[in-house]
Chain A
Amino acid sequence: MSVARRATGWSAGLAVALAGVVVVSAGIGPVPVPAETALKAVLGAIALPTISGGEVVWYHPFEFSLRSSHRAIVMRVRLPRILLGALVGFALGAAGTVMQGFFRNPMADPSIIGVSSGAAVGAVASIVVPASIPFGLGLEPAAFAGALLTAFGVYAIATENGRTPVATLLLAGVAVQTFLGAVTSFLLLQSGESMRRVVYWLMGHLDNAGWADFVPVAGVPVLPLFVLGCFVVLLAYARDLNVLLLGEEEAAGLGIEVERTKRLLLAVSAVVTGAGVAVSGVIGFVGLIVPHVMRLVVGPDHRILLPTAAITGSAFLVAADTAARSAPQELPVGIVTAAVGAPFFLFLLRKRRVHEL
Chain B
Amino acid sequence: MTDDTTATAGSTADAGPVLSIDELSVSLGATEVLDGVSLDVGRGELVGLVGPNGAGKTTLLRTARGTLAPDSGVVRVAGDPVADLSAKALGRRVATVPQDTSIAFSFAVREIVEMGRTPHVPRFGAMGDDDHATVERAMERTEVAEFADRPVTEISGGERSRVLLARALAQETPLLLLDEPTASLDPNHRLRTFETVAELVEEGRTAIAAIHDLDTAARYCDRIVVVADGGIVADGAPESVLTGATVGDAFDVDAVVTPDPVTERPRVTALADLDPDAEPEIPPVDRVHVVAGGGRAGSLLTRLDRAGVEATVGPLSAGDSDAAVADALGLETLEVGALEGVDDAALERLGVLVERADAVVVADVELTAGLAPVLSAVAESGTPAYCIEERPTNERTRDEAAAEAYRRLRVGEAGVAASTPELLAALA
Cα of A236 to Cα of B107 in the assembled complex, Å: 19
Cα of A229 to Cα of B137 in the assembled complex, Å: 38
Cα of A299 to Cα of B111 in the assembled complex, Å: 11
Within 8 A of B (CB), among A236-259: 236-237, 239-240, 242-243, 245-246, 249-250, 252-258
Query: How many residues does chain A have at the interface if contact means C-beta atoms less than 8 Å apart?
Result: 26
Q: Which residues of B contact A245 (CB under 8 A)?
A: 104-105, 107
- Cβ contact within 8 Å between B103 and A246: yes
Which partner residue on chain A sits nearest B119 by CB separation?
A255
Known A236-B124, A242-B115; contact A253-B104, beta-carbon cutoff 8 A: no
Q: Does A213 contact B (CB under 8 A)?
A: no
Q: Which residues of A contact B108 (CB under 8 A)?
A: 299
Which partner residue on chain B sits nearest A237 by CB separation?
B123
Closest Cβ of chain A: how far from B74's Cβ, in Å?
A: 19
Which partner residue on chain B sits nearest A258 by CB separation?
B87
Q: Does B116 contact A (CB under 8 A)?
A: yes
Known A253-B95, A254-B115, A254-B118; contact A356-B67, beta-carbon cutoff 8 A: no
Cα of A252 to Cα of B171 in the assembled complex, Å: 13
Q: Mark B86-109, 1 if CB is under 8 A from A, else 0.
A: 111111101110100001111110
Cα of A348 to Cα of B51 in the assembled complex, Å: 47
Q: Does B38 contact A (CB under 8 A)?
A: no
Cα of A43 to Cα of B91 in the assembled complex, Å: 50
Q: Does B66 contact A (CB under 8 A)?
A: yes
Q: Does A4 contact B (CB under 8 A)?
A: yes
Which partner residue on chain B sits nearest A101 by CB separation?
B105
Cα of A245 to Cα of B66 in the assembled complex, Å: 19
Cα of A104 to Cα of B116 in the assembled complex, Å: 20
Contact of B111 among A4, A258, A301 (CB under 8 A): A301
Cα of A5 to Cα of B330 in the assembled complex, Å: 70
Which partner residue on chain B sits nearest A355 by CB separation?
B104
Contact of B107 among A237, A242, A249, A253 (CB under 8 A): A242
Q: Which residues of A contact B98 (CB under 8 A)?
A: 249-250
Q: Which residues of B contact A195 (CB under 8 A)?
A: none
- Cβ contact within 8 Å between A256 and B126: no
Which partner residue on chain B sits nearest A3 by CB separation?
B126
Within 8 A of A (CB), among B111-145: 111-112, 115-116, 118-119, 121, 123-124, 126
Cα of A254 to Cα of B112 in the assembled complex, Å: 11
Closest Cβ of chain A: how far from B60's Cβ, in Å?
A: 15
Cα of A237 to Cα of B116 in the assembled complex, Å: 16
- Cβ contact within 8 Å between B119 and A299: no
- Cβ contact within 8 Å between A256 and B118: yes
Q: Which residues of A contact B243 (CB under 8 A)?
A: none
Cα of A301 to Cα of B152 in the assembled complex, Å: 13
Q: Mark A261-304, 1 if CB is under 8 A from B, else 0.
A: 00000000000000000000000000000000000000111000
Q: Which residues of A contact B94 (CB under 8 A)?
A: 253
Q: Does B43 contact A (CB under 8 A)?
A: no
Cα of A66 to Cα of B87 in the assembled complex, Å: 59
- Cβ contact within 8 Å between A300 and B105: yes
Cα of A239 to Cα of B111 in the assembled complex, Å: 11
- Cβ contact within 8 Å between A255 and B111: no
Closest Cβ of chain A: how far from B230's Cβ, in Å?
A: 22
Residues of B whose CB lies within 8 Å of any CB of A are 62, 65-67, 86-92, 94-96, 98, 103-108, 111-112, 115-116, 118-119, 121, 123-124, 126, 153, 171
Residues of A whose CB lies within 8 Å of any CB of B are 2-4, 104, 236-237, 239-240, 242-243, 245-246, 249-250, 252-258, 299-301, 356-357
Given A254-B91, A301-B111, 18 additional A-B pairs, CB 8 A? A236-B123, A239-B121, A246-B105, A249-B98, A250-B96, A252-B67, A252-B87, A253-B67, A253-B91, A254-B116, A254-B171, A255-B88, A255-B90, A255-B119, A256-B87, A300-B106, A300-B107, A356-B104
| 4 residue pairs, one from A and one from B, having the closest CB atoms | A255-B91, A255-B119, A255-B88, A254-B118
